[in-house]
Amino acid sequence: MSSIRKAAFLILVALLYLFSRGVGDHGLLDPIEGINASVALNMVGRRNPLAPLVGNLPYLGKAMGFWWFSSVSLLLFGWLEFSVRFWSVVGGLGMSAASWFIARRMNGERASNYAAVMTGTSLLTYVASQVASPHALYACCVTAALAAIVEGVQDRRFFLLLHVSATLAFIVYGPMGVILPWLSLLLYAYVADQARLFLKAFFYWRGLLATVLLGGGYLFLLYFKNPTLLALMKYNPPASAFSSVSSTLLFLSAGFFPWMGLLPESLRRALPRNWNFILPHEKRNALLLIWVAVFLFFGISSRDAFLLAAPLPALASLCASSLADAVEKNDTRFFQRAMAVEILLFVPFLFLEMPWLYYRHSSYLRNTLMSVIPWMGFCFLFLFAGWYYAKTHQPRKLMLHLSLTALLSLLPLAGVFDLLAETASVRDVGLYLRNTLGQGDVLVQYVMNRPSLYFYTARESLLIRSPLIPGVMEQKALNDSFLNRTWEKTDRVFMIVERHQEIANPLPQEVYNIHDTREMTVLSNRRD
């Protein structure tokens, strides 16, 4: 086995460890994880895989395939956080693997290793792979479709993978999963005068048969069993929690961190000299650029920041090809310019954007400093190593040390999720209530709405003065008078209150504090 293939194997093992490390150790982060976990648990517990429900309430979502996959992992691994995050981890690893195949076809094995590392260590890829949502698996499917296009130029049998991957992206996320890959290929065929490539791919009979069987079977299943879900195909699901970032382009650059300094120079080199006449060696770069533009536009227009993970493998493949070419030619100017841009982008990111995020979300992020500070230390090491090896004209050592530093920087990021979960999740409370709740007991959330509570207890809860979760239908935020009546007339009530939250109206009977966590308290009208 060559040294480059050994490096590819080590990269795979390292990413497998870093992506799967700790995903089952911390509680669910609301709201997106709680919703997806609760829907999957409902499908398993009620044996109704065609009704997306959070508790007894319908959910306006179209990620049926992701919930089916999550249901399978729940059956295999049990009622655990790891089960509902398992397919996100698989999606993150799949994105890295697909980018490896794309770069290998474009510029050899050295570029493929660079692409896998850049995809796997990009901030947005890692975050998406750690959260129970369909985004990482969707990005994996569409990136596999891109790899099939790149490989299909030489071997048309890969067009079967293109059809299957695009259809799976449709089942996992929605119609855009199948539309965008074919739209990207169609635009490329028009720009590069490659109409035969599009026709060969689209009308490849084995692929068409797979699309009809998978996609058509899925649609017929919905039509006959739950036609309401077909109407939801046009519904835009609630945006992820990260869509509040003001500039999505800035978010994309931050999502590609710490490799963002390499983007401008790599994109400049990848641009065809003349879009009216694209040279043969420029065609793969043109395909990737069109792919990035299409998926970037969809991610921005959908206002779902996690969707920006979909174009990252294509960006990584473009950068990796430029990097491999610069390393082979010992082009130190490329790396010097790239590291100069890295410094210009890096310093504002750490000293302006990071403090702003902490100021804006101080109550949510204040407990994560113990892991964020070590991660920032690795970021400074990344910057210093890049500057030093670019200055001393050692591009091979530069890429080796930057890759190692980027991989090691993921270690403290896993701790960020642990610390976030201490603040955001109801895991400790939920596990306590799972063993305590009786048949006639009532569960109340006071001024909070955590869908993950259903995942932990499999019990519907009353919402008192609570915010409503977008997409969950028939929610009712009741008032304090209803709480008082419930408290007085029900045999046993469990009420979950955040520690800093005061109850507006005095409760009519004695109140017993029966369980405490760092952030939440469980109150009851009975001591036992």
Among the residue ranges 247-256, 286-295, 366-375, the one predicted with the least confidence is: 247-256
In the prediction, which pLDDT does 241 show?
43
Residue 273 pLDDT greater than 90, yes or no: no
Kindly state the tokens that stand for 84: 């509902």
Question: Hey, CA dihedral for 434, 435, 441, 444, is it positive or negative?
Answer: negative
Q: Model confidence at 74, in pLDDT bands (50, 70, 90)?
A: very high
Which residue ranges make up each domain of the chain? 88-329, 334-425, 427-524
Do β-strands 520-524 and 512-516 pair in parallel, antiparallel, or remain unpaired?
antiparallel
The closest of 28, 135, 34 to 470, measured between CA atoms, is 34
Q: Which residue has the higher pLDDT, 146 or 420?
A: 146
CA-atom Rg of the chain in angstroms: 25
In the prediction, which pLDDT does 244 show?
45
Residue 238 pLDDT greater than 70, yes or no: no
In the prediction, which pLDDT does 251 show?
62
Residue where the block lists tokens 């019990």:
459
Kindly state the tokens that stand for 364: 């949510």
Residue 271, classed as helix, strand or coil, is: coil
Residue 210 pLDDT greater than 60, yes or no: yes
Q: Which residue has the higher pLDDT, 369 or 114?
A: 114
The total of other beta-carbon atoms located within 10 Å of residue 35's CB is: 29
Q: Which residue has the higher pLDDT, 516 or 2?
A: 516
Cis status of the peptide bond prior to 227, with omega within 30 of 0: no
Do β-strands 493-498 and 462-464 pair in parallel, antiparallel, or remain unpaired?
unpaired
Alpha helices in 192-282 (DSSP H): 195-202, 205-211, 217-225, 228-231, 248-255, 262-270
Name, of 101-110, 117-126, 506-515, 518-527, the range with top average pLDDT: 117-126
Decide if 34 contacts 28 (C-beta within 8 A).
yes
Among the residue ranges 34-38, 156-160, 313-317, 383-387, the one predicted with the least confidence is: 383-387
What are the Cα distances from residue 150, in Å, to 9, 118, 140? 22, 19, 15
Kindly state the tokens that stand for 100: 């490896």
Residue 284 pLDDT greater than 50, yes or no: yes
Kindly state the tokens that stand for 319: 């950068």
The identity of residue 182, as a single letter, is W
Residue 331 pLDDT greater than 60, yes or no: yes
The identity of residue 472, as a single letter, is V
Q: Model confidence at 243, in pLDDT bands (50, 70, 90)?
A: very low
The closest of 166, 250, 161, 259 to 215, measured between CA atoms, is 166
pLDDT digits (tens, 9 = 90+) for 15-50: 999 999 989 989 998 888 999 999 999 999 988 888
Residue 9 pLDDT greater than 80, yes or no: yes
pLDDT digits (tens, 9 = 90+) for 469-497: 888 888 888 898 899 889 888 889 999 99
Residue 249 pLDDT greater than 60, yes or no: no
In the prediction, which pLDDT does 76 show?
95
Q: Which residue has the higher pLDDT, 252 or 114?
A: 114
Phi, psi of 506 (to 5 degrees): -60, 140
